[in-house]
Structure formats: structure tokens, C-alpha cells
Structure 1
Amino acid sequence: MSSAPFRELCTLTDVDTDRYGGTIDPIWTIGKKVHGGAMLAVCAAAARRKLRSGTGPSAQLQPVAVSVDYLGAPDPGAVELSVEVRKLGRQICLVDVNLMQGDRVAVRAAVTLGTLDVDPPVHQLDALTSMPAEPPEDAHRYDGSSPLGKVVNIAKGCELRLDPTSAAFMTGGQGEPMLRLWARPFAEDENDPDIAPLFAMMAGDISPPVVFNRGMFGWAPTIQLTTYLQRRPAPGWLRVMSSSRSIGTRFFDEDHLILDSTGAVVVQSRQLALIPQR
């Protein structure tokens, strides 16, 4: 096992001027499907790499928003990413990215790049920090002996803990469509100032589907996902809170709110997904 698996995921090679190659290891999957947040992070890495091939202020920018549409589910392995710069500015740049496998486009992404916040938040709801900064001893571990550990392969590439008090489905019960988790990259990934932000963006899709708490089990494919990155996360555990405002008979929405170890909001995301089909 690599000591920096997320950096390897986001490491790209030049194919030509506007095309990069990458490899998605099988650990970045849920079951047999490549994890949507991992693909979002790779698209963000491709957009950033394109800007860094130039000079000037834009070469220093980081992805601050990524909006992706999932057209298909690629297999783990080799992928290519085509990029097109839509706007090249001093403060904001826009880059379109297509993640492809063979001749098939699997993900279409619109990436906005800008300058991350570095100062403490001017305003933030105090209630957001009610979640403990670190997982307690009884937090659920995604190991090979647990039902989630057997499916959530991404837990092999990072540290994941699930709050058992929020996950009624783990004991056969039902509850509100809200879950709480802790996520942390491995040390080398956490200490890399370019990789830690991409990991935080990936974590905007890291929760089990919140509809599990309503007794709706199975694959809940994401249709569209938009993720915002506000700052580079401080070292330590990320606090992940996922919730749904609306669950229909075909679709549901799911929000992620992610705080770093200092209690600052790092990532927010919203997705539209399909209800699992029995």
C-alpha cells in the first residue's frame, strides 16, 4: 500500500497540450464503481495542472468550485482528461474538464479556480462545531470485518470513522436522513499542501447515502455534484456532516458540510442522486 495513495490518484502525466493521463486505483471505489468524489478531485487536479503550465497569477490558483455531471461509471484503471480553458483571469479562472475512458466521456466537469481563504472566518454558526473534533473510541471503523468496510474500498486509502449515534441503519433501525463522519488522509497526503485540499473536496461525497437511515438500501448513483472549497484544511480530522432536505420516490438531495480540526468550514457540497432500487 502506498503511503500517499491520494497523491498518486491526483498525479497526472502529459499526453498532449490539452490532455492528461491518469490512473484510478481499485481502492478508489465503492463496490465495483469508481467513487464520484475521487473523480471530481482528479478533474480538479487536471484543471489546476493546466493553469500551472502557464505563467502569471493564474498559475497560483486553486480549485474553489467544481460542478460535475456523471455520464457513466468508468472502471478502475487508466483514464484521460481533456481540458479547455474558458476564462483566464487574475482572480478567477474557468476550466472545463472531461474525464474519459477509451472513447467514452464518464464525467463532465466545470472547474472554477481562485484564491483560498487563509484568515479565520468572519462569520460562522457556532452550532457547526457541536461535533467532536476527533472520533470517539466507539466510532465505527471501516475495516474488512464490517459491512461498510467490505464495500467502501476508499477506506483503504484514508482514515474513515462513522458516528454510530447518527447511523441508525447500522443496528437495523431508522432515523433522520443525517449522518456524521470523520475523515483524514494518510500523513504524506495530509502534509502535501496541494493534495490536502483535493482530499477535502473528495470528502464532499464520502458519506454513505443518507437514505440508508430511512431503510432505502442499495446503490444510489450521483447524477450531479457541486463542491465548494473555501480554504486549505488544517492538519487533523475532518468533521463531515451529511443530510438531506428532500427525499422523493426517484431522487433525493444530499448536502455535505465539512469542518477541519480548527472548526472552520472547509468544504460544502450538494448532490442530486437516485433513490436505490430494490
Structure 2
Amino acid sequence: MTLHPFRDLTTVTPRGAGRYTAHIDPIWTIGPKVHGGCLMAVCAAAARSELFETAPPEMPLDPAVVPLAVSASYLNAPDPGEVDAVVTVRKRGRQVSLVDVELSQSGRPAVHAAVTMGVPDAEEPHYTEEQTLAQLPVEPPAEAHALVADHPMAQVVHVSQGCDLSVDTSSAHFLSGKQGEPQVRMWARPWSADEEDPVTAALFAIMTGDVSAPVTMNRGMFGWAPTVQLTTYLRRQPAPGWLRVRASSTVLGGTWFEEDHTVLDSTGAVVVQSRQLAMIPR
């Protein structure tokens, strides 16, 4: 294990003509399959790399350009190991650029992502709605469940081996064998060497838009809840410190459910918003 596992995950190697390879370590999995948020982060990293690799001299890019929005359709669930990406710049603008990424493994398409690139907000917002998530402590309190090696969830949520994750036990009713509303709150933080790199920190924040256990578990529905489509917005560059995450759903259908994530940084600013369409566990 390196000191910067998430940077390693999102390091892509150019192969020419818009082609890249990346290596996904087994820690970035939920059960045997690669975590969907991590796949999104790899796609976003490939999009940013191609945009910078092919930037013409007359249109230099601001180093602060990162993925602002990633809309991903999940075609197959790849295994950890080598993946390939084919990246196409669809629009190159001074404020907004659009990039398509197709991620595959052994010739089998896994993810198709449309990535919007630009510089996120940095100034004070004109208006912001008060977030109930802001009532959660900035750092995990003693009663929070840290997903360390001997925690039951850590046996499935292997991503906890490459970052720090803690769960708010007052919202995760499934941890005590109870049921409650489909809402889970937690804390996430990259390791210090990953947090210190602005691009890696931004990609990690994008990943946290899919970091929660499926909220269906609070209704007694366990098992794999495959993501079909996920759209994530990076609203601001995250400040150093813990990220507070709230995952929730309003409709758990017979086959489908939506899951929304809101992510606040240590200052209380909204840094990530996401919505996914997923399937009810069988």
C-alpha cells in the first residue's frame, strides 16, 4: 500500500490517439466488483488528462480545470486490474469543455461517461440553502463506526482500506438490525498525501457522490444494488478535512430506486451533489 492510493487509482497512462490505461487495485471494490464511484473517478481522470494532453498552445488551460459534472452509464461491472479508456474531446471552450470516455476491460465496455470540464466556484455563493447535514459534527465523534479492518462492513466495503470512512450510527439503522428511513450519513476523508494534491482531492470528492452503502439496507433490503446511471456535480474544490455525506431516497420502487448524495466539506460548503438510478437488491 502506498501513501497516496487514490492518486494511484486515478493515474492514467496515455497510449496515444486518445487511449489510456489504468490499474485498479482490489481495495477499490465493493465485494468482488469495482466500486462505481471509483470507476467514475477513473473516467474523470482520463477526461482531464486528454483535455490537457491535446490543449493547443493558443488555448492554454487553467490548472484549476477539473471535472465539474460526470454523467456515467454503467454497462458491466469490471473486476479489479487493468482497464482501458478511449477518450474523445467533443468541445474545447474557454470556460466549458466536453469530453466523452468509454471505459472497458478485456474489450468489454464497462462505463460510458460524459464529462463537463471547467473551474469550480471559489467565491461566496449568492444564495445557499441551509443543509441539515451541517448539523452533523465536522469530524466523526467517538460513537461513530469507523470502517476499520475488523468492522463487518469493512469486509465488503474494501474502499475503506484506501481512505478513512466512518458511519453515523444514528442513521445507519441496519447496523443494529433495525429499520428506518432510507437515509444514511457518514464521513469520508482521503489520506493526507491524496488530500494535499488538489486534482486528487477533487476526484476523491467526486467518488464520495457514490460512497454510501445502499440506503435500501435501512429498509431490510440487503445485497447488491447495481447502479445503472449516476450523475455527479463537483460544486467546489473541497477544503482539507473530513467530508460529510448524506445519502437518501424518496421512492423505493419494485425494481428501481433513486439515491441522492450531498457532500459538505469541513467549512460546511456543498462540494458534491449526485443522483443515481439503481436497482432494488434481489
One-letter amino acid matched to 1:261: S
* Alignment partner, residue 270 of structure 1: 275
CA distance in 1, matches of 2:126, 2:170: 31
- Does residue 246 (structure 1) correspond to residue 251 (structure 2)? The answer is yes
SS of the residue 2:131 aligns to: helix
1:173-226 Cα distance to aligned partner (Å, 9 max, x none) = 000000100000000000001100000000000000001000000010100000
SS in 1 for 2:87: strand
Q: For residues 142 and 23 of structure 1, what CA distance do their matches in structure 2 show?
A: 24
Determine if the alignment matches structure 1 residue 122 to structure 2 residue 126.
yes
What TM-score does the superposition give when structure 1 sets the normalisation length? 0.97
* Aligned match of 1:171: 176
User: What letter is aligned with 2:84?
Assistant: E
2:149 counterpart SS class: coil
The residue identity in structure 2 corresponding to 1:84 is: T
Q: How does 1:1-278 map to 2 (within 5 A)?
A: 1-53=1-53, 54-55=55-56, 56-58=59-61, 60=63, 61-128=65-132, 129-277=134-282
TM superposition shift of 1:58: 4.2
Displacement over 3 Å in runs of 4+: 57-60
Tell me, yes or no, if the aligned pair for 1:58 and 1:88 is still in contact at 8 Å.
no
CA contact (8 A) 1:168 1:175 kept: yes
Q: Residues of 2 paired with 1:242 and 1:97: CA distance?
A: 26
For the residue of structure 2 that corresponds to 1:124, the secondary structure is: coil
C-alpha distance in structure 2 between counterparts of 1:47 and 1:85, whole Å? 8
2: CA distance, partners of 1:57 / 1:184 = 32
Deviation of 1:245 after TM superposition, in Å, equals: 1.2
Per-residue Cα deviation, 1:38-88 (whole angstroms, up to 9, x for no partner): 000000000100111114244642110000000001110011110011111
Q: Which amino acid aligns with 2:7?
A: R
Partners of 1:215 and 1:272 lie apart in 2 by 19
Q: Counterparts of 1:109 and 1:34 in 2: how far apart (Å)?
A: 16
Alpha-carbon distance between aligned partners in 2 of 1:18 and 1:144, rounded to the nearest angstrom:
39
CA RMSD for the aligned pairs?
1.0
Deviations 1:213-245 (A, max 9, x none): 000000101000000001110000000000001
Alpha-carbon distance between aligned partners in 1 of 2:232 and 2:277, rounded to the nearest angstrom = 12
- CA-CA distance at 1:125 after TM superposition: 2.0
Q: How far 1:142 moved relative to its partner?
A: 1.0
CA contact (8 A) 1:256 1:268 kept: yes
Q: Find the aligned partners of 1:27 and 1:201 in 2 and give their Cα distance.
A: 18
Contact 1:51 1:59 in 2 (8 A): no
SS at match of 1:126: coil
**Segment of structure 1 superposing worse, 48-57 or 200-209:** 48-57
Question: Within 1, Cα distance between the matches of 2:89 and 2:150?
Answer: 46
Same amino acid, percent of matched pairs: 56
- Which consecutive residues of structure 1, in runs of 5 or more, have no partner in the other structure? none
